[in-house]
Amino acid sequence: MKLIEKIGLAALHRIDPETGHGLAIKALQLGAAPLPGLVTSPRLRTRVAGLNMANPVGLAAGFDKNASALLPLSRAGFGFVEVGAATPRPQPGNPKPRLFRLSEDRAAINRFGFNNDGMEAIGARLAKRPRDMVLGLNLGANKDSDDRAGDFARVLAHCGAHLDFATVNVSSPNTEKLRDLQGAAALTGLLSGVIEARNALERPIPVFLKIAPDLSEAEIGDIAEVALSTGIDAVIATNTTLDRIGLHGPHANEAGGLSGAPLFEKSTRVLAQLSQRLDGRLPLIGVGGISSAEDAYAKIRAGASAVQLYTALIYHGLSLGAEIARGLDRLLDRDGFSTVAEAVGTKREDWL
């Protein structure tokens, strides 16, 4: 299985990154990608915001923007899958090229700008989802919207019946002024509207908030207070960064959000700071630079109850999620933890 994947990755890396990503989705749809199936154990099974997960390793939003490969992704070894981001109306996103590989850094820069098919088309696909997966949708706002805060609630109201969780994404750097919604007053108003839409669903679901890594300690404190006061269910830390420190290669200074290995330390530090502020009152999901079981374990011990990955799949293949879950099981066993929850935050001080 790994040999087939390596050959496929080598071929994809010879073409434009966005075209390669589209071909990877097509391979999944056609059943041409090897899939590991369910990965779980008594140690790996975990519960986050009321969601029972076979393992704590999730697929981050952005890989399957349009919810077009749900069945194969449900067999890819992840404990949970997040698709999107979805906006109320379809939008093409920013001009191409808008995705760049930084192979020397095991990283990527993207400036997609919430390109997606819109909530009507995505909602129709979600309605046909496999029921044996934990599935979430990343909520976004249209670039030209007069009411960006309201867009998040509209997408949730339309798609919420088919989801297990929804994520409010105000941390993408690729939609102008979107990150302004992370300010305390704007964020409170936005999240209140989303929670109202969630509560109106026939089956209310958990709502997560995804934050940027480019925040001061004071801003992290404000977000923690807003998260607690508005009644959201978890925080995802973090999205991509605007930093460009120490990068290599011809694409190092491209505009957009940087993801992958260079983001690991920064995102983990924000995660730990947020964990300290929240002190167990809300679960956290760690994202940013995870490419191994050791990376995932470090996020958990810094305060995450679960983790997500995406960019590392560009370099290691889709089987990485299952590999990380199996490796995490071994690490938990090595250190005497009988569950993921026992390990959460046990090394947080190392990152503060």
Mark whether 172 is an active-site residue.
yes
Nearest in space to 141 (alpha carbons), one of 132, 131, 151, 150? 151
Q: Give the three-state DSSP class for 7.
A: helix
Nearest in space to 241 (alpha carbons), one of 220, 265, 217, 272? 265
Residues 55, 40 contacting (CB under 8 angstroms): yes
Q: Give the three-state DSSP class for 70.
A: helix
Per the listing, tokens 């207070």 go with 225
Annotated catalytic residue within 74, 172, 267, 275: 172
**Biggest distance spanned by C-alpha atoms of the chain:** 53
Per the listing, tokens 């933890």 go with 337
Parallel/antiparallel/unpaired status of strands 207-211 and 46-48: unpaired
Per the listing, tokens 């956290």 go with 284
Q: Is 52 left (phi over 0), alpha (psi -120 to 50) or beta?
A: beta
Active site members: 172
